[in-house]
Amino acid sequence: MRNLKRVAVAIAVVAVAMLSGCIATTNAASAPPPAATPPLDPELREQLEAALDEGFEASGMPGVVVGLWVPGQAEWVAARGVSDLDGNVPMDRANQSKIGSITKTVVGTVALQVMGDGEAGLTLDDTIDEWYPDFPLAGEITVRMLMNMSSGIGPPGQAQLDRICADPHSTITPDEMIAIGAATPREAYAPGEGNTYSGYNTFLLGRILEHTTGTDLGALIDERLMVPLEMTRSRFAPDAVLAEPFNHGYSEFCPLMPQPTDTTDWTNHEGWAAGAMLSTIDDLHTWGLALGDGYGLTPEMLAARIDDRAPGTTDAGYGYGLGVSVHVDPATGCLLDLNHSGAEPGYGAHVQYFEGSGAVFALIGNGDGGTGEEFFKVVKEVLTVLPTSVAATSSDACLE
């Protein structure tokens, strides 16, 4: 049954278990065959296909690929449209794509790992004046506030899009971006007393990680996440160079350019720690599981990730935690899901982990429609058909 109230709120808000195997000493001939994975409910599969058709048509994107993975059931991965308008090449699950702000969940997880192991001496309560003393209110802004978007640093807004349209192949540096963030008007509230989604927070966090660990952010991401999780088709890529096979991106953001414009070779230095990851639908599945499990996090950091939400959590339980969007049941405080979306010129992506079922939903699209939100039309339609056994709308399980 469709739960439109849940979806309306969800759209308004913008670990993989490493199991060691043992070789059995029993004679292979006498071992029972492995049990077949039960299929996804045929009725649900039919509803998902129909929802995908409806959402894709409404989105106007050239192509989209989605996946739903429910533990103990066969996967559902489906694609519509094309990855390359010129060649009329169908979308494929193997294709690499730009995933935008989902990068924030990756950088946030690395930051929590670094703080959890203690070797770098970084803590959530450190103020950023140690590294950026000239940043406005640096002595009052903490690492925690950077991670839950409560610092009051203003958002990049239209000015960033204008810069990208003027120079799609920009090589702007992280510190140059941070300087722009420092000059951007602050929000009206004091640090820690509000909630504004701004990528400048994650730029600061990324550079602080580099300063405290002495390691390049891309190397940190590879060492701590991509390599151990075997996410071989994912890369932190400010250069935005995609590896074959890949999706071409198509943007309508820049009014003086052809509509749409192929953005495949546009760089992503403007995104850096806030949006420079590349990935595939299958790697997003892996990342969704890792995100849900809190891969590599200490119990303290695992709890802080959820509990240290920015002020202003909605009545429906949505708020920004430490590096990830968090949805809790307002009545019980129980975690319902973790999620994040991403949009870069020509691309959109989404990943969502459902706490109660352990299911993961992911999406990759290759058009922005001039709003950056067109892929949400697909997300919305798919979420409406998910049963509560997969995507719970309330829970008291964590109180038991």
Check: CB of residue 172 under 8 Å from CB of residue 269. Answer: yes
Instruction: Return the closest-CA partner of residue 204 out of 295, 267, 134, 298.
Output: 134
CATH number of 4-11+38-399: 3.40.710.10
From the CB of residue 204, how many other CB atoms can be counted at a distance below 10 Å?
29
Q: Where are the domains of the chain?
A: 4-11+38-399
Check: CB of residue 365 under 8 Å from CB of residue 57. Answer: no
Check: CB of residue 24 under 8 Å from CB of residue 34. Answer: no
| pLDDT of 31 over the 80 cut | no
- Of residues 313 and 100, more confidence is placed in 100
| pLDDT of 53 over the 70 cut | yes
- What is the C-alpha separation between 232 and 332, in angstroms, rounded? 39
Q: How many residues are given for the chain?
A: 400
β partners of residue 365 = 64, 348
**pLDDT (tens digit, 9 = 90+) per residue, 319-334?**
999 999 999 999 999 9
- What is the C-alpha separation between 241 and 230, in angstroms, rounded? 20
- What is the C-alpha separation between 264 and 144, in angstroms, rounded? 34
Give residue 398's pLDDT: 77
**pLDDT (tens digit, 9 = 90+) per residue, 241-260?**
999 999 999 999 999 999 99
Q: Per the structure block, which two tokens stand in for 226?
A: 């991509």
- Of residues 155 and 21, more confidence is placed in 155
Give residue 35's pLDDT: 62
Q: CA angle 92-280-82, nearest 5°?
A: 30
- What is the C-alpha separation between 384 and 350, in angstroms, rounded? 15
Q: Per the structure block, which two tokens stand in for 167?
A: 């120079």
Check: CB of residue 75 under 8 Å from CB of residue 67. Answer: yes
Average pLDDT score, the chain = 91
**pLDDT (tens digit, 9 = 90+) per residue, 270-279?**
999 999 999 9
**pLDDT band with cut points at 50, 70 and 90 for residue 395:** confident
Q: CA angle 257-198-61, nearest 5°?
A: 40
pTM of the predicted model, to two decimals?
0.92
Span 204-223, average pLDDT: 98
Check: CB of residue 154 under 8 Å from CB of residue 184. Answer: yes
Span 138-152, average pLDDT: 98
| pLDDT of 185 over the 50 cut | yes
